[in-house]
Amino acid sequence: MAIQGPGKVVVVIDDDESVRIALHELLKSVDLPVRSFATAEEFLKSGQLQQTGCLIADIRMPGMSGLELLDTVKR
């Protein structure tokens, strides 16, 4: 199953470790390439934006919220 091109990954961003791990493992169980981050800032610093085919982010997180991340990514 491709996510809009070779090398693309699903990115999970959630400050709740149990939710982040559960989503990561669920996506991995259906053979999707996945990367997980605890914060939006960590994701942005990772350089993974160009490889992101799908972004799943918590709306309420300390620091940058999921909605603020969406605005940043859209720019």
Full DSSP string of 8-72: -EEEEE-S-HHHHHHHHHHHHHTT--EEEESSHHHHHHHT-GGGEEEEEE-SS-SSS-HHHHHHH
Give the domain ranges of the chain. Answer: 13-74
Q: Which two tokens stand for residue 24?
A: 């990561």
pLDDT tens-digit profile of 44-61? 999 999 999 999 999 999
Q: Does domain 13-74 have CATH number 3.40.50.2300?
A: yes
pLDDT in tens, 14-47: 999 999 999 999 999 999 999 999 999 999 999 9
Predicted local distance difference test score (pLDDT) of residue 2: 45
Residue 30: how many CB atoms within 10 A of its CB?
8
CB 9, CB 3: distance < 8 Å: yes
Output phi, psi for 69, to 5 deg: -60, -45
